[in-house]
Each structure stands twice: as structure tokens, then as C-alpha cells.
Chains A and B, each alone.
Chain A
Amino acid sequence: MNEPRNRVLIIEDDPQIQRFLTAALESHGYVPSCAASGAEGLRLATLRQPDVVIADLGLPDMSGLDVIKRLREWFARPIIVLSARSQEADKVSALDAGADDYLTKPFGVGELLARLRVALRHQSERAGADAQSRIEIGELAIDFAARRVQRSGVDIHLTPIEYKLFVALIRDRGKVLTHRHLLREVWGAAHVESPHYLRIYMRSLRQKIEHDPAQPRYLLTDVGVGYRFADG
């Protein structure tokens, strides 16, 4: 591989998961390093300057949430959170604290690699030029400059709010966006506690964008957490 190999810092106290992650990442060309506690993780992050951090939410010495907050004081690259099931509230607070994505244990290698790819691509896009003025995803085409959305070459009329919502999702496509995040982005800080706005506009957006709104292909729901635009 000619590409520079990405450094991944794993902050996870369980040795079996460390082992499995290390093996999976190494075999796919990443350079992993492991920290078994929050403190060690923070230390290694400054020392190694990783491209991505994968952090478990349950750590022996401090909460994963605190690790994210401390990292985010200076660390601008992607952070992916590992959490157990039925911790939706924790996931949401981790995302709100600055994590880019989450993975629910247990997860497969395929899922892990997909999330890593999305995170790294966002990173490179952010580092590179400003967002492209036109994106094509599947049969959808979005022209930001002209505020125009097309499906299979046919114009789709979106209301201003629908368009704002759609753009917010597509700009961070592949990444889960929490309800609060979307509400703040689209409706403003005053409406972060009115999630039913989202439900209603997501439904109308799906009806306009999706072929089968009941089984969406693009606008996916992360139950209890938020929404994401399917990547690729």
C-alpha cells in the first residue's frame, strides 16, 4: 500500500477486545496501539498523535465521556465510541460531547472498518477543500450552489426546512447525528427539546427522497440516538 498507514489508538480495558481489534486493524493496514485506561489513553494520544481514537465508554479509572471531553480540548481528529447495548443515553451524550460515531458491542469487523472509513474520509474532506458544490450518491444528485436535489434526474421539491435537514444529514453522511444536533442545526437552539419536529420532517423527507419510505435506503434511523445518511 502506498497510502500512509493510519494510526489508530484503542482505549479499551478488556484484553480480549484489545486483541481482536488489534488483529483486525493490523490485517487491514492500520497501525493500532492500545491503552487499558483513560489516563494512559490520554497520554498515548499526545505521544502518538493517532489519526483515529476508538474509546470504550466503560473504563476502570474514568468515564469514557470524560476521556472524550478531555481529548476534544485539543484533539481534532475522529473519535469512535464503543458501548454496550441499552446505553442509548450514554451514546447520545458521547456524541454530543464530540464523538464522531459509535459502535455497539458486540460488532463485526465489517462494521468497524466501515465506520473507520467514514470517519477518516470526513477528516480528509474537512482537511481538504471546502465541501464540494455537487454530490452524487446513488440515484441522488445534490447541487448545493443551486439548492437543487434530483432523484434519477428528476427534480425533487423540498421546503426550506426539509432542504436544511437534508443538507445537514448529507454533509455528515455516514455519521450519526443526534436529535439535539439536528434540531439545533435546522430549527435553532430554542427547539432542541421538540423532537417531534424531526419525526414529522423526516417522514416527509423520506416520502420525497426514498422509493420505499417504510424501508429507507438513505435516511436511516438510529433508534434512541438520531439519524444518519447512509454512506455509499
Chain B
Amino acid sequence: MPAKASEQRPDPDALLARVQQEDARTRRGRLKIFFGAAPGVGKSYAMLEAARAQKAAGVDIVIGYVELHGRPDTEALLDGMEILAPQKLEHRGIVLAEFDLDACLRRAPTVVAVDELAHTNHPGARHVKRWMDVEELLDAGIDVYTTINVQHIESLNDVVARITGVQVRETIPDKVFDNADEVELVDLPPDELLQRLQDGKVYVEEKVRPALSSFFRKGNLIALRQLALRATADRVDAAMREYRDDHAIRETWAAGDRILVCVGPDPLSERLVRAARRMAMALHAEWFAVYVETPGLLRLPREARDRVLQTLKLAESLGAATENLSGESVAGEVIDFARQHNISKIVVGKPSRSRWRDRLRPSLVDEVARNSGNIDVYVISGEPGESTIKPPRLPQRSSNWQAYAKAVAVIAAVTLLCDVLYQRIELSNLVMLYLLGIVLVAARIGRGPSILAAILGVSAFDFLFVPPRASFAVSDAQYLITFAVMIATGLIISTMAARGKQQASVARQRERRTAELYALSRELTQNRDIPELGAILTRHIVATIDGQAVVLLPDEAGHLLDPTHFCARGTPAKTLVRYPVPGNDLGIAQWAYDHRQKSGYGTDTLASADAIYLPLNALRRCIGVLGLRPTETRQLGVPEQMHLLESFVNQAAIAMERVQLAQTAQAADTQIASEQIRSTLLASISHDFRTPLASIIGATSTLLDDASTNLDKDRRRELLHATQDEAQRLYRLVGNMLDLTRLTSGPIELKREWVAMDELIGAVLHRLRDALASRDVVLQIPADLPLVRCDEVMIEQVLFNLIENAQKHTPPNSPIRIAAKAWPAVLEVTIADSGPGLPAGEEQRVFEKFHRGRREAAQSGFGLGLTICKTIIDAHGGQIAARNLAEGGAEFRFSLPLEAQQPST
């Protein structure tokens, strides 16, 4: 059944993802993990055994790093294996041994065994974590054997901590475990493990022995073993599912779920993220982690905001897409986001808080649940210990004594006014005046002063005006209500005013960011030069983040070059100073460029640097790297700043790619244009070549013909003359073409010398003496013509072409006038004839390249000759023009610049 068949067809997207994954896998090395429930189950032993077996099978395998912990049986397995020497890192005077990534990459074995995947590298190593080293090995196509315990898996970390009470800090992202090609469970029943522990076969550091004794309880071990078995089973399950997808076996429709987890500043969030991740894995769903920044949350202390950042990072490392939203209401933003992104499940935390507060204000959980519609809401409850963090109270502006003095002054003024008006208006209206004063203080000055103003106002009113006067005694209990209203009004108004200011400042900040981005993008679109774009980018970045910024561009081989575009706040944008990039930092930048990932401070790679390097990633390639060394590295920790920075970099990268593409397109255009010129040239000269060749072949074949004996002597001479003339014509044509090629193929090299123009004219006339024999050549050349610095041979050619043209294009016996004249700054030569002149309107076009190509005139070489003249004169910085004379005939005129001083003799 066709309908059924189509249902059974594998989802193309899923299949494509699989193929891509497989593709990447053929290039990447394979990762095999020896997986255990707890330390001491024998992972390293199993790994080394496997390594020995590989070695025996002839595989090129080396031991990258193994922690022996003094176990003799494990050590025995190393016998005969190739072991990489560890690198020595010196940190604060202590020499630490560390797996040598670079040495391993250089050695490039087929397989490398590296113990303890979750290990945190010592400072100074390239990556923060060993699993990153392993990733790089895999990228380089090297297979890796490694070991790991269940508590090191990020998403299981908190579960393990709850079971054992021991928090493990060294974790690996789940994706590393999930993407491993093979996971071998090294299983040991808890009793045997405890036995090994008692026999002292498990290495335990002295200082953590007390903590571990609680860790190695049988109950714990059983639970850990269960976790490890389940994690392995999940993997088997995933492999099974993959197989099913591949073979179009689909019983359940699992896809379609999208999970959203709301992250906040409280410690509970981390657990929420892990829970969401487990849920997402179980459902094979996409998942998102979202943080909503409300004006209230903006006031949180730095540590709390850092924790949010950490939680988002954790979520990212667990495979979530993370988002930073901002708005007034957390619930509103979350629901909006969920609807936009088709979320099916929302995970929120339920912090433990007192019941009465719940009654007073709806919690986030309630709000989300109420508005979620058809979206499922999962509530994860917190533990009593994990108290939520409350945003601090609104900052008390104007806490200094001046503000309070102002409050006192306002109340004093009101009191004076009241004293004047007393008896004339009613007491209740006097109260209104006091209220007005309190409102003023609350709105303009602040909360504390407003409370002071309220108390003072109430006291003054009571003491001075409420009967009995000059006493705090109150005759009428109703005045108590008046007092309460005055104080409450002060509090409410001051709170609202403060909040309004807060919101305005948030809005201002956001506006500033938007404006910055807009300004950048506008400047970027106006420029067409990549270094210039780099300068713009650095200028905008240091305007936002105080520090030094630089754009590093690669050479053709992809090596980043020392930068020339450097910008620090306060320096002119175009200052060309060598940016102080130490050799090491250039390496960090190169890494960012090669891997298209950020590196340096605040990233996972080479975080010990004090600058961050962001790749300028465009759609098709990485353009270069932005280096930023902030004066205060803390600035990079602020998520908004980081986002802004990344937006800047992205915009610039796209602009730069656009410029690159435009340049490529332009080069292609130029090539096309020159191809067109070439074909025009070919078309135009083929005619000029064929005509004389036809005459030559015709004349010579006639002479060689047997019947040629019939020709009389004069006729034979005539044919021979024709052959010679046509050959001369071909020679001129070839010469012109060669000259033109030489003159237009690159910069013209002029051999400038002092030259006497009269002498050159004389030489040309001598060369043309036969052709000009019948002509009246009129010369007007002053005897004291100054010498001119020019290329003698080239200028002779100009004269030759112009005089020959005058001779060829005019009737025999018509005169030719040649004049030379020195003006203050130029030397001008004029060649005039009395011929038919130039076609009207074409006086200037005669110098254009292949001008004659349009019309096939009888005389050949005309167009090229004049183009050569113009090229030569232009190269000398002179001018050439043609015009028709009023009395008939054409006149060509060229001028060459004269030197200010003639040479001394």
C-alpha cells in the first residue's frame, strides 16, 4: 500500500542528521569510554588490557596518560607499551605533570589511551578540561580510549550528590558521553568492590578518606551501580532507536516535544536544568533554558547574576538552547516565548516559601500554570536548604544628609505656610498641604526622606495645629487615620518613583545597545574595505567596553598576521600601532580562527589569557579574529555585554564577507571586460591581417605560375612592388600591436633622458624621407627649443605615427606642417595636414582603443597607431588632441611637460 509505504519512509531530516553524523565520524577519531559506577572498579585496568590487545593486533597505540595510584597489577600492563611523556607545567613554583596534547597530536598514533576523562587540567594547559583535549584528538582523527565514573556525567552529577552526599566538581558534558562511539561498562558487584577497598587495592587520597568512607557505603554503591547500568542501558536504547530510524521501523512517534526550563538566580535552577535535560533526553526532545531579566532581577548582587550565567552555561553544555529575555513579568515573557517556539512542556521551580506569602502574591508557578493553556507545566520543588534569593529592596536614593535636610526644609516651609493660613482655612485642608509636601519629597527626593517628611509633617501638624495645640495629645482619634494616610502615601509614591526611574534606566541601557548596533551597522554598510571595517568594529567595541581591541586578519595561507588596526579607548581609530599581542596570544587567536570558536578569557579554551578572541564568523568562512583586552575583565562576565559584543562581531563579519564577495564579483567583471576587449581586438585585426596576406599570396602565386612567362617585365615588377608594400603594411601592423601590448600590459617604464625635439623630428623625417619625397613639409621649429625629459624612442614613435598618418591620409603633394613651440610649462608639437580631416564628431574618439574596429576603413593600422600615441603621451603626463582646421585638414597636437630647469653644460 503506497500510503503505508510513505508513512514508513524514514524522516528525511533525521536521516540527514544521521548521515552527517556518520560523515563526521569517518573523519573524526572514535571515542571508547570505559565506564564504571565508582572508583576502584577496574576501569584503568580494563582500558590498558584493551590497549595491550590492540597492540598485539598490530595497532599503533600509545598510552597518553595513566594514573597508576601505585597499583602493581595495573603497572604491569604498561610493560612494553609506548608511553607519552607528560608535559611539565609550572604553576606557582610547583611543577605539575599533565597529558601532553601537542606531543600526542605530533605523534599522531592510531589510538591513544588517556585516563580520567573528567580531569580538570592544571593552569597553563591549552584547555580547561581533559575532555576538551580528547575532543581535539578526535577532531585530528585519532581514536581515544578513556575512563569515566558515573558521577562525572553532568546531568547525573546532582543525583549522585544526593545519593552519596559527596559533590563531585569534575564533570563532563553529557554530549561527550552520548556521542562516544563505544561505552564499555566495567562492572563490579558492590561486595567485591568493598572487599578490594578493604584489601587496600583501591587508591584513596589521605585527606579525602573520611569523606570517602561515607561514599563507599554499600547502599551508595548499589545506587551508583544502578545509575551506571541505567546510563549504559539508555545508550543501548538510543543505539536501538537510531537503528530503527535508519531502517524505517517506527512504532512510536516520539518527536515533537519541546521543553522549556525557566532559570533564575536561585541555586534550585541548576537542579531544574538537570531535570529538564533528563526529561528532554527521555523524550528525545529539543529543550530551551530561558532567563527572564526583570528590572527587579537587574538589581541582584553580582554573585547572583554570575550564578544565572553559570546555570545558563550549564544548560548550554547539556545541549539546551539558551535565551536571555527581558521584560516586566517573568511569567508573561516565559509564556510568550513558549508560544513562539512551540513549546509543549515548561519546567519551573517551586521555591519553598511561607504559605502566607503565597496567598499575598501569586507565585511564578501559579502565574505560569494559569496562563499556559495547553502547555504542560512541570513543577520541581526545592529543598528547605535552598533558599531563594530575594532581590534587594529598592535602592534608597539620596541617603545622604542633604536629602534629609531638603525633606526637613520642605516640611518647615509647609508649616510656615500653614501658620499663615491657620484659622483662615479648615484643618483638613491644612492636612492636604502637608500631604502635598510629603508627595513632593517622595516623588523628587526619595523614600527615606519621604518617611522623615511624613513623620515630621504628622508631628508638626499634631503639635502646632491639632487641638490641643502645642501638645502631641490628640483630641480626636480620627487624626490617627490622617497620620496613617500621610505615611502610607509617602511610602507608596516614593516606591513607585524609584521603580519608574529603575525602569527608565533599563530602557535607556537597552536603547543604548540598540543605538550602538544601529550606528555600527550603518557605518559598516558605508564601507568597502575590510581593514577599514575592522577599524570601525574595534572603535565601536572600545566605545562600549573599555579596553583595547584589535582585528586580526589572516594571510593567504590562513595564518593570522600581526595586527595593524588597533584601537584603545581615547586613541584615534586609525592609529597604526602594533597591538601588543604576545606570541602566545596570537596562537590563541589562531585557535579561534581555525576552530571558528571563541577562545581566551572567559571561554573554555586557553582561559588563562587576559584577552578574549572572537572569530569573525560569516556564513561561508571565518574572516578573521577580534581580540579584546578589557581593562576590567569583569566586564565580559556581564551577559548583556557579551551579547552585545557578539552581535557586533557578527555584524562586522557579515559586512566583511559582503565586501569580500563584492570584490570577487568585481574581479570577475574585470576579467569579463578584458576578455571582451580581447575579442574586439581579434575581430578588428583579423581583417587588417587578411587583406595584405591575400595580396601577397595572390601576387606571389601569379609570379610562380607557369603562365607568368607571358607577363611583361613591368607587370612583374608591379606585382613584386605590391608584395613588398603589403608586407610592409603587415610589418607595421604587427609592430603596432606589439607596442600596444607592451604599453598596456603593465606600468610603462619610461627611459627618460634629455631630448631635443627638433632632432627627433628630423630623425623621423629622415626615416620617412621616401614616403615624403613628393611632399612639401613646412617646419616651424625655433632654434632655441628647450630640451625635454622624455623617453626618446617612444616619443619618436609618436612623431612617426602622427607624421605617417598625415602622409597616408592626405592627397599626394598636399603640404604637411610641423611646428614645435615652448610654452612656460610645456613643449607643444603640432602636425597639421590639408587632407579631408577627421569625421565630424570623432575628433577625440580617434584615440580610443580599436576605434577603427567599428568601421572597416581602407587604410590599416590607423586606430592602433593613435591609441599608442595617446598611451605614450599619457604615460609622460602630457596631453594629446585632434581637431579639424577651419581651412580644411586635420591637426594633431601633443604637449609634454617641461622641467623647471634645463640641464647645465
**Is A124's beta carbon under 8 Å from chain B?**
no
- Chain A hits for B742, CB < 8 A: 86
Q: Of A86, A88, A195, A220, which is within 8 A of B763 by CB?
A: A220
Known contacts A214-B761, A221-B766, A224-B796; decide if A200 and B787 are in contact (CB<8 Å). Answer: yes
CB of A224 within 8 A of CB of B792, answer: yes
One of B186-194, B668-676, B750-758 contacting the partner = B750-758
Interface status of A20 (Cβ within 8 A of chain B): no
Whether the Cβ atoms of A203 and B756 lie closer than 8 Å is: yes
Among A85, A86, A196, the residue within 8 A (CB) of B903 is A196
Q: When the two chains form their complex, are residues B766 and A214 in contact, meaning their CB atoms are under 8 A apart?
A: no
Answer yes or no: B759 CB below 8 A from chain A CBs.
yes
**A199 CB → nearest B CB, Å:** 5
B760, A196: Cβ atoms closer than 8 Å: no
Instruction: Across the interface, name the chain A residue whose C-beta is closest to B760.
Output: A223
Report yes or no: B735 in contact with A221, Cβ–Cβ below 8 A.
Answer: no
Mark out the residues of chain B between 709 and 764 whose CB falls within 8 Å of any chain A CB in the assembled complex: 727, 731, 735, 738-739, 742, 753-756, 758-763
* A213-B783, A214-B779 known; A196 vs B754 contact (CB < 8 Å): yes
Return A201 CB to nearest CB of chain B, in Å: 8
Q: Does A215 contact B (CB under 8 A)?
A: yes
Is B53 at the interface (CB under 8 A from chain A)?
no
In the assembled complex, which residues on chain A have CB atoms less than 8 Å from the CB atom of B761? 214
B residues near A207, Cβ cutoff 8 Å: 783
Chain A's closest residue to B764 (CB) is A223
A 203-232 binary contact with B (CB < 8 Å = 1; else 0) = 100110000111110001111100000000
Q: Chain B's interface: helix, strand, loop or mixed, by majority? A: helix
- State whether the Cβ of B765 lies closer than 8 Å to any Cβ in chain A: yes
Find A215's partner among B735, B755, B762 (CB 8 Å cutoff): B762
For chain B, residues 860 to 905, give those with C-beta under 8 angstroms from any C-beta of chain A.
903, 905
Whole-angstrom CA separation of A224 from B762 in the bound complex: 14
Q: 0/1 per residue, B415-443, Cβ < 8 Å to A? A: 00000000000000000000000000000
Known: A86-B739, A86-B793, A223-B792. A203 touches B763 (CB 8 A): no
Cβ contact within 8 Å between B787 and A199: yes
Cβ–Cβ contact B756 & A223, under 8 A: no
Contacts between chains A and B (CB distance < 8 A), count = 66
Q: For the complex, what is the distance from the CA of A206 to the CA of B761, rounded to whole Å? A: 14
Cross-chain contact B779 with A215 (CB below 8 angstroms): yes
Interface centre among B739, B758, B759, B796 (most CB of A within 10 A): B759
Which residues in A have their C-beta under 8 angstroms from that of B756?
199-200, 202-203
By beta carbon, the residue of chain B nearest A88 is B793
* Residue ID in chain A nearest B753 by CB atoms: A195
Q: A200-B905, A207-B783, A220-B763 are in contact. Are A213 and B758 (CB under 8 A)?
A: yes
Contact in complex: B905, A221 (CB < 8 Å) = no
B781 at the interface (CB under 8 A from A): yes
Q: Quick check: is A153 within 8 A (CB to CB) of the other chain?
A: no
Asked if A15 is an interface residue, CB under 8 A from chain B, the answer is no
| Closest CB in chain A relative to B11 CB, distance in Å | 72
B residues contacting the other copy or chain, number (CB 8 A): 28
- In whole Å, how far is A106's beta carbon from the nearest beta carbon of chain B? 6
- Once the chains bind, are B739 and A199 in contact (CB under 8 Å)? no
CA distance A214 to B760 in the complex (A): 9
A213 and B903 CA atoms in complex are apart in Å by 22
Which residues of A lie under 8 Å from residue B777 when comparing CB positions? Answer: 215
User: Does chain B have a CB within 8 A of A144?
Assistant: no
Residues of B within 8 A of A86 (CB): 735, 738-739, 742, 793
Find chain A residues with CB under 8 A from B735 CB. 85-86
Bound complex: CA of A221 vs CA of B777, how far in Å? 19
Contact across chains for B783 and A221 when beta carbons are under 8 A apart? no
Number of interface residues of A (CB under 8 A): 24
CB <8 Å contact, B755 and A199: yes
Contacts of A223 in B (CB 8 A): 760, 763, 792-793, 796
Q: Which of A61-112 contact B (CB under 8 A)?
A: 85-86, 88, 106
Question: Whose C-beta in chain B lies nearest to the C-beta of A194?
Answer: B903
Tell me which of A88, A200, A221 contacts B762 (CB under 8 A). Answer: A221
Q: What residues of A have a CB within 8 angstroms of the CB of B731 in the complex?
A: 106
Q: Hey, which chain B residues are within 8 Å of A215, CB to CB?
A: 762, 765-766, 777, 779
Q: Which chain A positions have C-beta within 8 A of B760?
A: 221, 223
Report the Cα distance A196→B786, complex, angstroms: 11
CB distance from B816 to the nearest CB of A (A): 12
- Cβ contact of A214, chosen from B753, B755, B762, B793, cutoff 8 A: B762
Closest B residue to A222 using CB positions:
B763
List residues of chain A with CB within 8 A of the CB of B727: 106
A200 to B761, alpha carbons, bound, how many Å? 15
| B-chain residues with CB within 8 Å of residue A196 when the two chains form the complex | 753-754, 787, 903, 905
Q: Please indicate the chain A residues that have their CB under 8 angstroms from the CB of B905 in the complex.
A: 196-197, 200
A88 to B753, CA, bound (A): 14
Contacts of B781 in A (CB 8 A): 214
Q: In the complex, how many angstroms separate the beta carbon of B774 from the nearest chain A beta carbon?
A: 15
- With both beta carbons as reference points, the residue of chain A lying nearest to B739 in the complex is identified as A86
Known contacts A86-B739, A106-B731, A202-B756; is-contact A221 B763 (Cβ 8 Å): yes
How long is the Cα–Cα vector from A207 to B735 in the complex, in angstroms?
34
Q: Who on chain B is nearest to A105 by CB?
A: B731
Chain B residue nearest to A230 in the complex (CB):
B766
- Please give, as numbers and ranges, the residues of chain A lying within 8 Å of B758 by CB-CB distance: 203, 213-214
Q: Using known A-B contacts A106-B731, A202-B759, A215-B779, determine if residue A220 contacts B793 with beta carbons closer than 8 Å.
A: no
Q: Within the complex, what minimum Cβ distance (angstroms) separates B460 from chain A?
A: 107
Report the minimum CB–CB distance from B794 to chain A (whole Å). 9
Q: B765 to chain A: which residues have CB within 8 Å?
A: 214-215
User: In the complex, what distance in Å separates the CA atom of A197 from the CA atom of B905?
Assistant: 6
Which residues of A have CB within 8 Å of B755? Answer: 199
- B762 near A216 with CB under 8 A, answer yes
Kindly state the separation between the CA atoms of A206 and B759 in the bound complex, as whole angstroms.
Answer: 10
Q: How far is A200 from B783 in the complex, measured between Cα atoms in Å?
A: 11
Q: Give chain B interface residues in 36-50, CB to chain A under 8 Å.
A: none
Nearest-neighbour CB distance to chain A for B327, whole angstroms, equals: 79
Task: Tell me which of A207, A215, A220 has the highest count of chain B C-beta atoms within 10 A of its own C-beta.
Answer: A215
Give the residues in chain B near A214, CB-CB below 8 Å.
758, 761-762, 765, 779, 781
A86-B735, A222-B763 given; 17 more Cβ-contact pairs under 8 Å: A196-B753, A196-B754, A196-B903, A197-B905, A199-B759, A200-B787, A203-B759, A213-B783, A214-B779, A215-B762, A215-B766, A215-B779, A216-B762, A220-B766, A221-B759, A221-B760, A223-B760
Q: Interface residues, chain B, CB within 8 Å of chain A? A: 727, 731, 735, 738-739, 742, 753-756, 758-763, 765-766, 777, 779, 781, 783, 787, 792-793, 796, 903, 905
24 A–B contacts, CB within 8 A, in A order: A85-B735, A86-B735, A86-B739, A106-B727, A196-B903, A196-B905, A197-B905, A199-B759, A199-B787, A202-B759, A212-B779, A213-B758, A214-B758, A214-B762, A214-B765, A214-B779, A215-B779, A220-B766, A221-B760, A222-B763, A223-B763, A223-B793, A224-B793, A224-B796
Closest 6 CB pairs of A and B: A196-B754, A221-B763, A224-B793, A196-B903, A223-B796, A199-B756
